[in-house]
Amino acid sequence: MLHPFCTGTGGGHLRHGADDGSVLDCAGAIQTIMGASGLSAMEASTLPAEIASTIEDVGLLESIPLWAVTLLGSLFIWVLSLVMILTVYGAF
């Protein structure tokens, strides 16, 4: 009996794995799923000219608030990650 996701070239045949357990051979299933999701298509993306010129025209003193926001955001994510890890492992 074929697994519903195993419709590729492998035909859903059982084969022996590295641990001598049977492994369902779903050749092509991952490629089919990735192709249908659109995640496998690599397309170039570009910024609009107005945004690119605005970013390039930012001076050193005007970029300080941008760096501050970036660093504060990174610190916030780091603290949330630490809290999550300590909560999972029972340190809180």
| Residues whose CB is less than 8 angstroms from the CB of residue 32 and which lie 6 or more positions away in sequence, other chains included | 7, 8
Mean pLDDT (whole number) for 58-86? 94
Mean pLDDT in residue range 26-37: 76
**The most confident of 29-33, 36-40, 76-80, by mean pLDDT:** 76-80
Residue for token pair 């300080």:
64
Model pLDDT, residue 75 = 98
- What pLDDT score was predicted for residue 72? 97
For residue 6, what pLDDT is reported? 57
Predicted local distance difference test score (pLDDT) of residue 46: 87
CA distance 87 to 81: 10
pLDDT value for 8: 46
Q: What pLDDT does 49 receive?
A: 94
Rounded to the nearest integer, the mean pLDDT of the chain is: 77
Q: What are 44's two structure tokens? A: 């170039």
Among candidate residues 92, 62, 66, the one with its CA nearest the CA of residue 79: 92
User: Distance (Å, rounded) from C-alpha 30 to C-alpha 22?
Assistant: 19
